[in-house]
Amino acid sequence: MARTPISLAAEEIAYARSLVIFEDAQVLALNKPAGVSSQGGRIKARTLDDLLWAFARSNGKRPELVHRLDRDTSGVILAAKTKPAAAALGKALMARKMAKTYVALVGGGAPEPPEGRIDTPLRREEVGRQTWMRACAPDHPDAETALTRYRTLAAGQGAAELELHPETGRMHQLRVHLASLGRPILGDARYGGALTAGGAAVPRLMLHARALSFPHPEDGRPATVEAPLPEDLLAVAARLRLSPPA
């Protein structure tokens, strides 16, 4: 089914183009800001998917998102500019050939051990109109395999900065896995994260998609796109006075 084109204002087009961190004939990578939904939801506001009309060609074709990020997560998100690229990237995603790197600020100090792998299964739970993910036992009838590698980058008495590598792509996986360790992500009200840190409010979920590596759809060569850490996350980290682990 053909999409109905969306007419964007000049400032919206300029804003969309300001988010570009990589572009070639097949791939478009954007640095998604926190607070912008990847695709349509309950909030009636421009989504990143809407903003892709800023890149529409004269034939009406436009890039298509390959994956999604939660509304309050910032960082790298990939779009395909052609149908063959979309097919190739979709296959790479399904085959787990995309390597994602996230950075998170968590409460509770460094996990123990400071580097490791979380293999706690997750299950979906419907609460009213919202879907939650819950850690569960492997033999639960709704259990889904979920795997996350983590490494402590810096830590203090009540918080830590972690590098995260999800090996599976379950909804809210990083958020629930870290909460299951007693290290919920700062600003994550849904899963128990503190809403204040370092004597001030945490502005949003402190989770950023730092890098994405993937086989380029043109010839399969390894490609990596990175998004710098955003100012709000850097400001919270600075307030927490975190230092590298010994």
CATH of the domain at 33: 3.30.2350.10
Assigned domain for 3 exists: no
| Mean pLDDT of all residues in 14-25 | 96
Exactly one of 24, 49, 70, 142 is catalytic; name it: 70
Assigned domain for 5 exists: no
Q: Model's pTM, two decimal places?
A: 0.94
Assigned domain for 245 exists: no
12: confidence class by pLDDT, cuts 50, 70, 90: very high
Assigned domain for 100 exists: yes
Assigned domain for 246 exists: no
Look at the chain and report how many structural domains it folds into: 1
Assigned domain for 33 exists: yes
Catalytic-residue membership of 70: yes
Distances in Å between the Cα of 38 and the Cα atoms of 93, 107, 115, 135, 196 are 17, 26, 30, 25, 26
Assigned domain for 114 exists: yes
Domain of 228, in residue numbers: 10-240
Beta strands at 148-155 and 130-135: parallel, antiparallel or unpaired: unpaired
- Using one digit for the tens of pLDDT, what is the confidence trace for 175-230? 999 999 999 999 999 999 999 998 999 999 999 999 999 999 999 999 999 999 99
Assigned domain for 173 exists: yes
